Amino acid sequence: MDWIADRMRLIDASGIRKVFDLAANMQNPINLSIGQPHFDTPEPIKQALCKAVADGRNAYSQTQGIKPLLETIQSSIDAEYRHADRKAFVTSGTSGGLMLVLSTLVNPGDEVIAFDPFFVMYKHLTTLAGGTTVLIDTYPDFRIDVAKVAAAITPRTKAILFNSPANPTGAVASEEEVRALAELAAERNIALISDEIYRAFCYDRPFVSPAKFNDRTIVIDGFSKSHSMTGWRVGWCHGPQDVIQQMTKLQQFTFVCAPHPMQWAAVTAWGFDVSDRVAEYKAKRDFMRSELSRDYEIHGAGGAFYLFVKAPWGTGTEFVAEAIQRNLLIIPGNVFSGQDTHFRISYAAGDETLQRGVEVLRGMAGGK
């Protein structure tokens, strides 16, 4: 008997994790592959965690989150959106939130629209829920063409997955793009899921959420990237009350709750100013784009901490293979895309590492 469920054959092992595993066996690699901040969790947040553990906050919390954190989040979203029906709850990271929302909304056979290039989990979590991912091509400039989205909608379309600032491209959608997408979803009665985990990292224009234009938008957010808390698994979600109630119910039987002591530390994180780190990453973005733009085609890069760069020769996979031979770790674009033409750089690294990476990439621009 074959014990493995059919759905698992449709889910590939993470290409990013394969690169992480490879890095473990390399000597002093130039690592521009990691999608997490290179700075440590701020000290006041670490101290708040230690206090929570010492104070005995180590059992399960309420499924929806501890009251101080939940009230803080709810108060913030009420002030920002003023939607009478918008409710929040605390998730086990943004990945947990994404799994919950897709499992709550998607029936077997339903279609979920996402934008190519896409964050790797979107396709696989949709598959897990029994749905099919419909990809909208955004090459070469990674802009949102709402006419393409409208043309892709069928009677089976259940949701649209939207991510701005985006991983892997760093693209930040304009207010016009966001409004048009939000209005289309409302008009067609399709759920719009907005992944806003990189919201803090907008360098050239203000962040705009589609929830501003569509009060049924479901927002996924968290502390992982902005506060360097990737291992702490604390996120939040807000949206229409009927959807949030079902997601919370599902959390009871999956994650149970976000890690309890981490939630108390997240109360401190909410009020912690990360603007200095955002400014540091903007400077890193400026450096990388300036140093590479003469030899490489770069679009997007308005936010997050990624460049999605077109390979100047070969496929993205072939280019990355050569980079690894030169001790540089980057991610092939086909991990995030139906195309194999690009590669992703994470500039969440120290300046010396970035300089070393630039030197290797300059040396590769003309060929092997």
pLDDT at residue 309 greater than cutoff 90: yes
Q: How much is the average pLDDT of 74-86? A: 96
**What does the alpha-carbon distance between residue 62 and residue 83 come to, in Å, rounded to a whole number?**
24
What is the identity of the amino acid at 96? G
Model confidence over 103-129: pLDDT tens digits?
A: 999 999 999 999 999 999 999 999 999
**What does the alpha-carbon distance between residue 102 and residue 112 come to, in Å, rounded to a whole number?**
9
pLDDT at residue 8 greater than cutoff 90: no
Q: 350 falls in which pLDDT band (50, 70, 90)?
A: very high
Q: How much is the average pLDDT of 329-333? A: 95
> 232, 42 in Cβ contact below 8 A?
no
Choices 3.40.50.300, 1.10.540.10, 3.30.365.10, 3.40.640.10: CATH for 57-270:
3.40.640.10
Strand partners, 332: 343
The boundaries of every CATH 3.90.1150.10 domain in the chain are: 6-41+274-364
pLDDT at residue 23 greater than cutoff 80: no
The boundaries of every CATH 3.40.640.10 domain in the chain are: 57-270
Work out whether strand 111-116 and strand 157-163 pair parallel, antiparallel, or are unpaired. Answer: parallel
**What does the alpha-carbon distance between residue 39 and residue 9 come to, in Å, rounded to a whole number?**
37
Which of 1-5, 12-16, 191-195, 275-279 is predicted with the least confidence, judged by mean pLDDT?
12-16
Strand partners, 124: none
Q: How much is the average pLDDT of 284-298? A: 97
- Residue the block writes with tokens 């449709």: 10
pLDDT at residue 51 greater than cutoff 90: yes
Angle between helices 241-252 and 93-105 (to 10 degrees): 110
Interacting residues of 193 by C-beta distance below 8 A, sequence separation 6+: 98, 101, 102, 159, 160, 161, 162, 217, 218, 220
DSSP 115: E
Model confidence over 155-179: pLDDT tens digits?
A: 999 999 999 999 999 999 999 999 9
Model confidence over 252-284: pLDDT tens digits?
A: 999 999 999 999 999 999 999 999 999 999 999
pLDDT at residue 12 greater than cutoff 80: no
pLDDT at position 13:
66
**What CATH code would you report for 6-41+274-364?**
3.90.1150.10
- Is 259 exposed, middle or buried (CB count within 10 Å of its CB: 0-12, 13-18, 19+)? buried
**What does the alpha-carbon distance between residue 139 and residue 159 come to, in Å, rounded to a whole number?**
22
Interacting residues of 78 by C-beta distance below 8 A, sequence separation 6+: 86
